[in-house]
Structure 1
């Protein structure tokens, strides 16, 4: 089945064609018809399967066609996202799919001045994409009215609960009409998520895309065994062998992110970092540069793993293995998005053996191994710009010393 066969607005179909969307992914195929019928949906699907478009396409189409016959103002759809980065990226998807329609989408999130957001809300919008905290603040201040909401979308519900947004969501529900359509999307489900879901949805169509392997089938992933102190040399080599590709590098801590960035800088490789210590304006600027390809290398921590939804990230490098096995899936899920293919490589040091074992247990099988010969390993290390520049400095120092010694002898 193709998108052209769906009963969606012609404007949306044209936008999908322009964006290169031809056939729906599994989650889109199963969710879109139910959403178009006005049914509540509880969807569980792994990262990178096209969940955003699964709810954005029908939501925009429904609201666009309702606007033709109804002139009532007010926000008609609220999309809840766990992070600022995700809220912004989801907003961009809505705006691209909703181009040339009557539907206006706007995004609000915390960490920035709320004045400009309030001013834009006062002009009128149809779809609000937001983080729970900022929405709750604006509602309590009287700047945001949700009495005309027809559609509530809770996205990345498991990540929302991890970040402690459960009470905000529960409190916010009181301001929404009871007679509404609700869509609930999550990568995983447990008892807490299930309880929240069934408080929000009514007679929901349950959709679960859960293959045996939680890793997206579009991603080729493998592990290389590298000593901890040598990882920077292999990262340098990998980036230099793929100069035109976007490379997303995951490390364990924010301190380590900055250290790896400095190591790359020493060998002439420009990179950006994103982690919890960055100001919101800096984080937005970093994401924009990486998205537009101004910088080809982005170094991130697990805090940012699900907040990075950038198209055309060809490679993910796990510079450090994650301490939580499920984060392995979230990390490498930043490549191979939708129908695109992706590659992921993990660097595993001897002291990370237990972490690798936990990851393989979690995904239900061994990760493919990259065989590095001893000669290739030593060559990668010895040919590094860092080693070469250090060697040149030592040779220069030795020459200067010998030269000085010669002068003394001549005296």
Structure 2
């Protein structure tokens, strides 16, 4: 089936054609008809499968038809709740590209920036709001934002929202909405807790679950290399040098770790950028744009940023540190192999991280292929490094340092108050 055969507006069809979208992905094929019918949807699909367009296309079509019907409406009609600012921005871009010429107004709302321009946009009239919970509730309680007329609620990356403790915010939003409204629940992973919450938020939903036994996209070749913690920087240097034209995202466990890895790469002449929660919003956007445009090819990120990085043609994901939560492995490696593109993911696993690796393999219900490195190759990787420093990067010391920095930051915040 092609997009031109769907019961969606001509403008949206033309925008899809301009963007090169001819046929729907699996999640789009299964979700769009149900959303157009006004049904609640509970969709579990791998990251990079086209989830955003799966709800953006039908929502734009529904609202455009409503707006131009004899019973025209005024005010906000759709809210898309997301866990991170970067994700909010990227979803907004999708809505704006697909919605050109439809007359549908979309606003991206998040904290960390001046609220006056956002309020002005709300007052001028919006149809769709893509927002993180914090700023949205700020404006609701300041009475700048009314959501009582909303007819469609989308919860995107819902599993991550629950991890971040947004369940009460989601439940509070539902209280503001009309009794009869449509709820769309999209998540890359599902467990018993998420399933329980999901079914408490939707009514008789159409359940869509793609590749439930393998949460990692088939487009990704993933492997693990057993590398000790102090030696990881040498192997990262090697991966980067062996793939000089590749876009690579490197995931680390902490903000301090991200900056230290960046410095380690600088010592061997490799340019990189970091993205994590301590960076100002504008700095984060600048970094993402530089990476998107290829100005910098190495991006070092923490898990907080894993969901907000939706950049085409990422060739490699390197798990410099294994994630504490098995589900985060899926979201990390999902930054590559998106759509029809092939991707590679390699994880560095130290001796102390082997239990975490076992948890990840248990979650995926399959073993990750091991990259065999013999002793000579291991030694040569270190010996041929351009890094001549003798600093010992001890994990426990780094984590202790990170904890101290976090304590200082919290004390600093308390003093300001």
For 1:16, the equivalent position in structure 2 comes to 16
TM-superposed deviation, 1:166: 1.4
For 1:60, the equivalent position in structure 2 comes to 60
TM-superposed deviation, 1:388: 10
The whole-number CA distance in structure 2 between the counterparts of 1:175 and 1:157 is 19
TM-superposed deviation, 1:192: 4.1
- How many residue pairs are counted as aligned between the two chains? 390
On the 8 A contact 2:189/2:327 being kept in 1, the answer is no
On the 8 A contact 1:381/1:387 being kept in 2, the answer is no
Render the CA deviation track for 1:90-121: whole Å, top value 9, x for unaligned: 11111122123221211001122211111111
| 3-state DSSP of counterpart to 2:103 | coil
The whole-number CA distance in structure 1 between the counterparts of 2:8 and 2:360 is 41
| 3-state DSSP of counterpart to 1:244 | coil
The answer on 1:140 being equivalent to 2:151 is no
**CA 14–241 in structure 1, closer or farther in 2 if over 3 Å, else same:** farther
For 1:357, the equivalent position in structure 2 comes to 358
For 1:117, the equivalent position in structure 2 comes to 118
**CA 194–211 in structure 1, closer or farther in 2 if over 3 Å, else same:** closer
The whole-number CA distance in structure 2 between the counterparts of 1:204 and 1:365 is 30
**CA 203–389 in structure 1, closer or farther in 2 if over 3 Å, else same:** closer
For 1:368, the equivalent position in structure 2 comes to 369
Render the CA deviation track for 1:253-306: whole Å, top value 9, x for unaligned: 111111100011111111111122222232222222222222211111122222
Q: Which runs of 5+ in 2 are unaligned?
A: 392-417
TM-superposed deviation, 1:318: 0.6
The whole-number CA distance in structure 2 between the counterparts of 1:3 and 1:342 is 27
On the 8 A contact 1:382/1:388 being kept in 2, the answer is no
Render the CA deviation track for 1:143-202: whole Å, top value 9, x for unaligned: 111233221111111111111111122222222222222211122334543444334322
On the 8 A contact 1:224/1:370 being kept in 2, the answer is yes
On the 8 A contact 2:66/2:73 being kept in 1, the answer is no
Q: What is the TM-score with the length of structure 1 in the denominator?
A: 0.89
For 1:386, the equivalent position in structure 2 comes to 387
For 2:322, the equivalent position in structure 1 comes to 321
Q: What is the RMSD of the two structures over their aligned residues, measured on CA atoms?
A: 2.1
The whole-number CA distance in structure 2 between the counterparts of 1:120 and 1:185 is 27
For 2:201, the equivalent position in structure 1 comes to 200
For 1:261, the equivalent position in structure 2 comes to 262
If you compute each CA radius of gyration, which structure gives the higher value, 1 or 2? Answer: 1
The whole-number CA distance in structure 1 between the counterparts of 2:174 and 2:132 is 14
The whole-number CA distance in structure 2 between the counterparts of 1:34 and 1:130 is 24
On the 8 A contact 1:154/1:183 being kept in 2, the answer is yes
Render the CA deviation track for 1:121-148: whole Å, top value 9, x for unaligned: 1111211100112111111111111233
**CA 388–83 in structure 1, closer or farther in 2 if over 3 Å, else same:** closer
On the 8 A contact 2:188/2:215 being kept in 1, the answer is no
For 2:289, the equivalent position in structure 1 comes to 288
Which has the larger displacement, 17-26 or 164-173? Answer: 17-26
| 3-state DSSP of counterpart to 1:386 | coil
The whole-number CA distance in structure 2 between the counterparts of 1:111 and 1:258 is 22
The whole-number CA distance in structure 2 between the counterparts of 1:134 and 1:388 is 45
TM-superposed deviation, 1:344: 0.5
